[in-house]
Structures are given as C-alpha cells and as structure tokens.
Amino acid sequence: MNPTPLGDTHRALAGSPLSIARRWRAQASLAAITLAATSLVAVPASAAETADAPVFTGIAKIYGRGAVDTVLTFDERAGAWSPEPESRAYTWHLSDDALLDASDVLIEGATDATLTPLPEHLGKYVIGTVVATAAGATSEPVTAATFEPVTPGQLVAGHVRILGTVQVDSLLTADPGTWPEGTALAYRWVINDRVVARTPTFTPLATQETKLLRLSVEVSKEGYYTQTGQSSIEQIVKATLTTTTPQIDGTVVVGGRVSATTGHFSPEATTLKYQWRANGELIPGATSRSYRIQPGLHGDKLTVTVKGDRPGYNPKSVMSAASVVARPFGRAPHPIISGTPRVGQTLTAHRGTWSPTPSVTTYQWLAEGRPITGATSRTYQLTRAEHGKNISVEIVGSRYAYLPTTRRSAATTTVGWAVTTADQARAQLTD
C-alpha cells in the first residue's frame, strides 16, 4: 500500500540546501494537514566534482503520520534523477525548527528510506536526506522535512474482559487484553457509573446485587496517547448457597423427640427455616428444629427440610433422608434354652410369643457372655471349648415400623463332659 502524503507539496527552486530550506519555512504556513515535505533541487556539481554526478529535479517528500511507532518514508517519486543513481545513502536528523543545520541531531543507525519515530523523538521535527551516487560521482544532498514535530503514538487497545461469574461473593479477575511491553495499566471497577475498586480483582458485595458492573482499564506508555478499554456491562446476580444434607438426630419412634441438623451452609446462612413432613406431606405446625413424633405417624416416612437464606444469595432448601416412624414391640419376652448343658449335646433357643410377631429373628449363642464364633442358629451343639462355661443365647426381633429389640436368655448351668457308656453303667449299678 502506497503511503498517503500528509502535507502539501510545492515546486522547489534551485539553490543551496539551507537557502531552499528557508524558503520552505516561509511557505510552511500554507500547509493545512499534519505532515509535509521540504523539496529540494540538487545544485549542479561544482567544477571540482565529476560532471556525471546525479542531479535531482523535482519534489522530495516525507510520507506518514509523524507519530511514534508509525513509519515515515522518504519519497522521491515526485522528482527524477539524471543520470539514474547506482545507489542512495539516507540519513535522518532531529530538529527543533525543521531547518537542517549544525545544531540538528543525527539519528544513529537510521540509514534506510524509512524511519519509525521513537518516544525519545517526541516534539522534534524529522529531516530526511538522501545522497545519490553514479559512476563514482556523488550528488548534492536532497532534503525533506516534516511539517510538524513527532506526536505521540496510538496504542491499539486490547479486548478487556471480566473473568469469573459476575455474582455476589465471587472473585472476579480483570483481563486487560494484550498490550505492548512496558505498558502501565490502571484498573477501575465501575458500578452504576461509580468507581468501587481500583485493583486487578474485585468481589461483588451482597448490597451490589442486581446492579450493573463494568471494568475499565486505562493504559499508558511513554510516547503514546493514553487509551481506555472497557468490558461489556454485566449485571451482578445472586449467588447460590451450598450445603450438606441435613440429618434427623434421635430415635424416630412414636412419642420420641427428634431434631434436625442444619447441614453446613456455605457461606453461613443468616436465617434457617424447618419443615417436617410425613410421607412427603407437610405436618401442620411442625416448623421448629425439633419435633415430638405423634402416635398417628406410626409407619410413616418422616423427613425434615432445612431452608437457608442469606442476603445476596438464592435461598437453598435441602431435605433429609426419610426415616420410618417406629414403635416398640408390644410384647417381647426373653428366650428360653432347652437341652442338657454337656459337651456334644444340642441346645435349642425358644423365642416365646412376641406381639406383633417379628418378621426376622437373629440368634447369637454366648459362652460366659461372649459370642461364640459362628453360633448364629436357633440350635447349637456344645463343644469341648464350652466345657466349664455357662451358656446363654441372645435374640434380636425385627419388623417393619418396629424398633429392633434384643432379648437375652438366662444362663445354663456349667457345661459338663459328655456322659460315657461306662458312666451310664456305673449309674445303673448305683441304682
């Protein structure tokens, strides 16, 4: 793409470079836009120089905005060299007045037809010079200058974003986008056109719920105009409480008093409400943390719902697991053991009459009150390990909506050795 000249051009008159430059300054007031060029016509070679030195006729210009980090181009297309140069040598100077003289500063290393102004060039006019060579003969310098001093550059704004969920108590992070190295960033979190924070992160408060939030990032760098990038506007919404499932503490039995754990709300709920239910139906008036179970609920499934609330948060309701309301067995006698307590003999446990009848009965035989491993049937054959010990049995009766009930029998006499044939014969002789 060809650059667009930002200044008017005019036909140059022959003369020394300084006299021509003075004429350019006299006509500078005619310029109406940012940059222009000093146009020079090369002075014919002196008698001491080669007659074939290139001569430039026409206008030389500097194209470009003349701002930091943009490109200035020394352009000779509005003129012509005769003869055509074999090479060109460029130099660039900084000037206080756009007149090339001994007080101007050479820009070191700037030897191309283009120049990119730096922040340290701010406020200075830029003068470009080209010297052409052909057949060993060197031309007079051809010079062009900018109409105005170098101005600050334009920073290309990055895409400013808010990272995170825009809700109460949620940590938000500013994403300023990509900017040139060395750029300074100033953050402003704005709610309803009022700055509420100037840090890279921000956490909305409960009092700011429903309000509009915007992130503004002011960007500055030496040699550049300050820029401001802004995020999209977002509404601060309510957050959501988190909690664990509540539990029912206490024995869920008719007439018993139970209570609800509150769960662990995060953050802590400022208000808690309770509702007890039977088989999913509300129990009228049961809205306290504790509840005494009424007889009419026997066999029902009892639950409690805990509802937590906090400013800036959506209410959170969570229900406990269901527990069946039980009652004790009406009758649960202790078991009785039948059989002879001798090694090798079999003992039998008799449950007795329960009311109502258990749907499941489990057994555990004990020696001296300690469980006998594997002895979990209604009957048990005594072994040598039980010799000299007292034997008892423990049963557990279970039925839906009734409390599991444990009953233990009385202990037998000490287990003796088995009766041998010789023992029986001696007993008969004794009789």
* Opening angle at CA 112, ends 109 and 116, nearest 5: 75
The pLDDT assigned to 63 comes to 94
Whether residue 382 sits in one domain with residue 266: no
In a domain, 1, yes or no: no
- Which of these ranges, 22-36, 182-196, 396-410, has the smallest mean pLDDT? 22-36
In a domain, 44, yes or no: yes
The pLDDT assigned to 180 comes to 86
How does pLDDT run across 244-289, given as a tens digit for each residue?
999 999 999 999 999 999 878 999 999 999 999 999 999 999 999 9
How does pLDDT run across 205-223, given as a tens digit for each residue?
999 999 999 999 999 999 9
> In DSSP terms, which residues pair with 145 in a beta bridge?
127
Structural domain that includes position 344: 336-408
The proportion of the chain whose per-residue pLDDT surpasses 70, expressed as a percent, equals 85
3-state secondary structure (DSSP) of residue 120: helix
In a domain, 180, yes or no: yes
User: Rounded distance, CA 189 to CA 160, Å?
Assistant: 12
The proportion of the chain whose per-residue pLDDT surpasses 90, expressed as a percent, equals 80
In a domain, 424, yes or no: no
Whether residue 351 sits in one domain with residue 369: yes
Give the CATH number, domain containing residue 209.
2.60.40
Choosing from 202, 237, 272, the residue where a domain stops is 237
Q: Give the chain's count of helices (H) and strands (E).
A: 2, 35
Number of structural domains in the chain: 4
Whether residue 66 sits in one domain with residue 36: yes
How does pLDDT run across 90-147, given as a tens digit for each residue?
999 999 999 999 999 999 999 999 999 999 999 999 999 999 999 999 999 999 999 9
User: Rounded distance, CA 379 to CA 1, Å?
Assistant: 105
Q: Which two tokens stand for residue 228?
A: 């401001």
Q: How confident is the model at residue 51 (pLDDT cuts 50, 70, 90)?
A: low
Instruction: Work out the average pLDDT over 340-360.
Output: 97
Give the CATH number, domain containing residue 46.
2.60.40.2700
CB 220 within 8 A of CB 184: yes
Whether residue 312 sits in one domain with residue 219: no
SS3 for 308-373, per residue?
EECCCEECEEEECCCEECEECCCECCCCEEECCCECCCEEEEECCCCECCCCEEEEEEEECCEECC
Instruction: Work out the average pLDDT over 396-408.
Output: 97
Whether residue 98 sits in one domain with residue 168: no
Short-list 183, 17, 35, 27, CA closest to 117: 35
To which residue do tokens 């310029």 refer? 31
Relative to beta strand 227-230, strand 405-408 is: unpaired
In a domain, 137, yes or no: yes
The pLDDT assigned to 20 comes to 33
Instruction: Work out the average pLDDT over 312-323.
Output: 96
Whether residue 104 sits in one domain with residue 30: yes
Whether residue 135 sits in one domain with residue 53: yes
User: Rounded distance, CA 431 to CA 429, Å?
Assistant: 5
The pLDDT assigned to 425 comes to 59
Whether residue 129 sits in one domain with residue 30: yes
Whether residue 93 sits in one domain with residue 26: yes
Choice between 369 and 423, residue whose per-residue pLDDT is larger: 369
Choosing from 237, 268, 284, the residue where a domain stops is 237
In a domain, 265, yes or no: yes
Whether residue 399 sits in one domain with residue 274: no
Strands of 290-292's sheet in order across = 248-249, 257-260, 290-292
In a domain, 317, yes or no: yes
Whether residue 100 sits in one domain with residue 209: no
pLDDT at residue 37 greater than cutoff 90 = no
Instruction: Work out the average pLDDT over 413-422.
Output: 84
Q: Which two tokens stand for residue 66?
A: 């003349």
- Which of these ranges, 2-6, 86-90, 427-431, has the smallest mean pLDDT? 2-6
Whether residue 369 sits in one domain with residue 301: no
Choosing from 324, 349, 366, the residue where a domain stops is 324
The pLDDT assigned to 391 comes to 98
pLDDT at residue 8 greater than cutoff 70 = no
Give the chain's mean pLDDT.
87
Q: How confident is the model at residue 233 (pLDDT cuts 50, 70, 90)?
A: very high
Q: Which two tokens stand for residue 318?
A: 């969570």
In a domain, 189, yes or no: yes
